[in-house]
Amino acid sequence: MSLFQMKWLRRIVRHHTNPIPEVQAALWKRRLSVAYALLAWNAIGFVCYMIYIGRGDWAHYYGLKTDQEKQESQAVQFSKYLNVEKGKIIRFSGFQKREELEFDNQKSAK
């Protein structure tokens, strides 16, 4: 059972395609799963390599993010992205409050 049940799409596909034998379907399922596994393994390797050589923050490396933006925490970056003008960031570790920071994005926007 799928998350989005598009029965209309299933009817269209079944109407315009011919059924294939189960043996052939199983063979192609195996082939596609091996191809997907190889692709995923190479993607993980590429990401690890980029982190190892120091290009983990690719936006900063290619100049899409300034040094000031790199220094900001993720909470402040998201508040700017969501256009939150004023607010308070509270950081917790377990059940203990570690830090409380006020921010004002009106000053930086002008």
Question: pLDDT tens for residues 3-49?
Answer: 568 888 888 988 999 999 999 999 999 999 999 999 999 999 999 99
The answer to whether 79 and 102 have CB atoms below 8 angstroms apart is no
Helix (H) or strand (E) holding 11, with range, is: helix 7-16
Write the pLDDT tens digit of every residue in 92-105.
999 999 989 888 88
Report, as an integer, the average pLDDT of 50-55: 90
Give the C-alpha separation, 38 to 42, whole Å: 6
Q: Does residue 76 contact residue 99 with C-beta atoms inside 8 Å?
A: no
